[in-house]
A and B are shown apart, each in its own frame.
Chain A
């Protein structure tokens, strides 16, 4: 039975029926691409092509085209990798952790957030391939028998753990996303007018018919997949942080890294979800599904995780002093007051101060402020990784080898490549797949809709087309 407290704010507004949900979401998939979509797609492809040229040259010439030097051997590549992986975390948090916590507001945003996860992880993985310099040897990271007798990978190394973590995370995220898509693909299949889309969506829908037995198993495996994805997503960024934390570099060698990285990942990921959803909401007219309530709830998560990140920054600084280790203290004083002070203070302002503005309810519910702060947060989180990586490396133990890092056009071009890739993939997704999980939204409609119509099922498109009144209108 559907019982809900009357004090709960509605999650779906506009008195939608089940048929309305189908119609509103499928409209985007079935219609011809709009002019705005075509322009956005063209821009993304151009950006991607430019990035591909830069990437080609990076691989053709070697990593010497980057601004790396003997002291700073890791810079933008790993910064971008950690940034993208972090962004991916919000999707899994929304679809898995919020499912375990029975947060029904996730249903309107989980599909797009999961898509964002998958594309962000693809972008992150591209930086792993880039920083190898010789991507044709990427399989050396896997424990494959080889001609060296067999010389295996080193399972003591966090870099190998990372290979397992990222590839598991990527494939399990794809699986979770696809299983959730199947019922919606079946809806599109049954509405499809032409043979080609009937075949494509029919193949992808795997013959789904929504029987009670299938739904029961579906709910069961969704729960287990959520239960698996929750520790998985935490393990992924924990292992990413181990890449740094298990080293002996002052500024990296800290035990606070795993929780600090995970909080930062969710922080930046939610900011990216906000950016994407605020655009999708307007372009696809989804204001009734992604309401101010959703925006406000996501902003609360941003404030919470932003505060955790702020606490971690201060704790790190305190421990650097309290440990009494000269090198550790210097690494942190150098971050705040050294030649990279501007990066440090950009990070502090963007990540610690800006999310605190969301204590104000009117800012939390303002689309413009949310968008603005989300962009700021993502800039801040990029600087966080830059600060951790470059400022810890650029002044090492011998002052004679101290150096600065300045990016070349290939550092920048390879970063632009990832934006082109992400934009292209996300635009393709938002055109050809339903951006909102119709089945799950229908499932929560009754308990969370503002004012339900007397007949909740509504009139489906087929009936609407067949009715004589429609024909009269068309004439």
Chain B
């Protein structure tokens, strides 16, 4: 969190289906939801909140392409240009023989590039202190956070809306 001292309304749900239905209900009432925290992936939750579709696939493709180009450069330059060698009577530049190395390096670059992008884009790192509205969200609870400064409705109105949607606990937290 970059901007400190924000007021959040936190709703704790007991059930993933209830939490997903609650997100849709609260959204349709015109409240902007900051984020929902859950112990496992709930399919459709990110689109229900209104998060844009992740673009990490594009990054993965770019890393893969980089890996492939590196592999092509490495194999053809070393074998064909820098020190051409005839081995087993084969052409120094025998392209099909380089395919396994090209494939492996493409996979290697994609996997590492994508995972590093994943950690960076989510702001995850070994020294990062997690933003936890309720520590039970990694165990068995589903926690909804609503940024009060980003919503026009009053705190009481939103709280009653969250309560009505099935939250078992509602509280306000300063982060």
Q: Which of A155, A171, A239, A440 contacts B40, CB < 8 Å? A: A440
Q: Which of the listed residues A186, A190, A209 has the most CB atoms from chain B within 10 Å of its own CB?
A: A209
Q: Does any Cβ of A come within 8 Å of B69's Cβ?
A: no
Q: Which of A153, A217, A235, A446 contacts B54, CB < 8 Å? A: A217
A 10-32 contacts with B by CB, 8 A: 17-19, 22
Interface SS majority for chain A? helix
Question: Would you give the shortest CB distance from B54 to chain A, in whole angstroms?
Answer: 5
CB-defined contacts of A208 to chain B, threshold 8 Å: 124, 130, 138
In angstroms, Cα B102 to Cα A155, docked, is: 10
Residue contact B107 to A172, C-beta cutoff 8 Å: yes
Residue contact B78 to A152, C-beta cutoff 8 Å: yes
Q: Does any Cβ of A come within 8 Å of B135's Cβ?
A: yes
Q: Does any Cβ of B come within 8 Å of A220's Cβ?
A: yes
In angstroms, Cα B119 to Cα A191, docked, is: 23
Residue contact A216 to B38, C-beta cutoff 8 Å: no
Residue contact A221 to B78, C-beta cutoff 8 Å: no
Given contacts A156-B79, A165-B104, A212-B36, are A207 and B124 in contact (CB under 8 A)? yes
Flag A195-218 by CB within 8 Å of B: 1 or 0 each: 000000011111111111111111
Flag A212-233 by CB within 8 Å of B: 1 or 0 each: 1111111111001100100110
Question: Would you give the shortest CB distance from A416 to chain B, in whole angstroms?
Answer: 31
Which of A42-50, A131-139, A454-462 has 4 or more CB atoms under 8 Å from chain B?
A: A454-462
Residue of B nearest to A207 (CB): B128
CB-defined contacts of A18 to chain B, threshold 8 Å: 39, 139-140
In angstroms, Cα B119 to Cα A204, docked, is: 12
Residue contact B129 to A207, C-beta cutoff 8 Å: yes
Flag B5-49 by CB within 8 Å of A: 1 or 0 each: 000000000111100000000000000000111111111011001
Q: Which of B51, B125, B138 contacts A183, CB < 8 Å? A: B138
Which of B86-94, B146-154, B157-165 has 4 or more CB atoms under 8 Å from chain A?
A: B86-94
CB-defined contacts of B112 to chain A, threshold 8 Å: 171-172, 175
Residue contact A156 to B94, C-beta cutoff 8 Å: yes
Residue contact A460 to B140, C-beta cutoff 8 Å: yes
Residue contact B100 to A164, C-beta cutoff 8 Å: yes
Given contacts A156-B79, A207-B129, A212-B45, are A220 and B56 in contact (CB under 8 A)? yes
Q: Which of the listed residues B88, B94, B98, B118 has the most CB atoms from chain A within 10 Å of its own CB?
A: B118
Residue contact B39 to A172, C-beta cutoff 8 Å: no
Q: Does any Cβ of A come within 8 Å of B131's Cβ?
A: yes
Flag A234-269 by CB within 8 Å of B: 1 or 0 each: 010001001000000000000000000000000000
A 424-475 contacts with B by CB, 8 A: 438-440, 442-443, 446, 455-458, 460-462
Residue contact B100 to A161, C-beta cutoff 8 Å: yes
Which of A57-65, A86-94, A143-151, A278-286 has 4 or more CB atoms under 8 Å from chain B?
A: A143-151
Given contacts A143-B78, A150-B83, A212-B45, are A460 and B141 in contact (CB under 8 A)? yes
Residue contact B107 to A155, C-beta cutoff 8 Å: no
Residue contact A235 to B126, C-beta cutoff 8 Å: no
Residue contact B79 to A207, C-beta cutoff 8 Å: no
Residue contact B115 to A442, C-beta cutoff 8 Å: no
For the complex, count residues of B whose C-beta is within 8 A of A.
Answer: 67
Residue contact A224 to B83, C-beta cutoff 8 Å: no
Residue contact B135 to A190, C-beta cutoff 8 Å: yes
Given contacts A17-B140, A152-B78, A220-B57, are A439 and B41 in contact (CB under 8 A)? yes
Residue of B nearest to A222 (CB): B41
Q: Which of B90, B103, B111, B119 contacts A172, CB < 8 Å? A: B111
Q: Does any Cβ of A come within 8 Å of B167's Cβ?
A: no
In angstroms, Cα B100 to Cα A18, docked, is: 44
In angstroms, Cα B12 to Cα A462, docked, is: 15
Q: Which of B49, B127, B138 contacts A210, CB < 8 Å? A: B138
Q: Does any Cβ of B come within 8 Å of A179's Cβ?
A: yes
Q: Which of B39, B87, B98, B119 contacts A187, CB < 8 Å? A: B39
Q: Does any Cβ of B come within 8 Å of A160's Cβ?
A: yes
In angstroms, Cα B51 to Cα A235, docked, is: 37
Question: Would you give the shortest CB distance from A437 to chain B, in whole angstroms?
Answer: 10
CB-defined contacts of B129 to chain A, threshold 8 Å: 207
Q: Does any Cβ of B come within 8 Å of A168's Cβ?
A: yes
Q: Which of A165, A209, A221, A455 contacts B100, CB < 8 Å? A: A165
CB-defined contacts of A143 to chain B, threshold 8 Å: 74, 78
Q: Does any Cβ of B come within 8 Å of A70's Cβ?
A: no
Q: Does any Cβ of B come within 8 Å of A314's Cβ?
A: no
Given contacts A164-B105, A207-B125, A456-B14, 11 further A-B contacts (CB under 8 A): A152-B83, A155-B101, A160-B101, A175-B111, A190-B136, A207-B123, A210-B39, A210-B40, A212-B46, A228-B107, A231-B103
The 4 closest A-B pairs by CB, nearest first: A207-B128, A216-B46, A18-B140, A152-B78
The contact sample of 25 A-B pairs, CB cut-off 8 A, is A152-B82, A155-B79, A155-B101, A157-B87, A165-B104, A171-B108, A172-B107, A175-B112, A182-B124, A187-B39, A189-B130, A190-B132, A207-B131, A209-B37, A209-B130, A212-B45, A215-B40, A216-B54, A218-B118, A220-B57, A228-B111, A232-B104, A442-B39, A457-B141, A460-B140
